[in-house]
Amino acid sequence: MNDTSDMVHVFSNTELTVTHLKNILEDNGITSLIRNDYESGNAAGFVGGTSTSVDLYIQKVDEEKALPIIEEFKTSLGK
């Protein structure tokens, strides 16, 4: 998954919550990518993003399969 041009943003939340959803998606055969701009910025010597906002991306081809799983997950969070 080096080419992110075919990736779509599907969810943002805390690192713990995003990682939990990532695991659920992977249990359903959907590969995902976590992007944490805050941690990336810190590693590079500057701050980008916020410390509590982490983004989850999936491949566009998996979007139709993933959306019901993501919606169910959001419902379980009360969102």
Tell me the three-class secondary structure of 13-55, residue by residue.
Answer: ECHHHHHHHHHHHHHCCCCEEEECHHHHHHHHCCCCCCCCCEE
Q: Which domains does the chain have, with CATH numbers?
A: 4-77 (3.30.1370)
Arithmetic mean of pLDDT, 36-58:
64
pTM: 0.77
Residue 35, strand partner residues: 55
Arithmetic mean of pLDDT, 36-59:
65
The share of the chain scoring above pLDDT 70, in percent, equals: 73
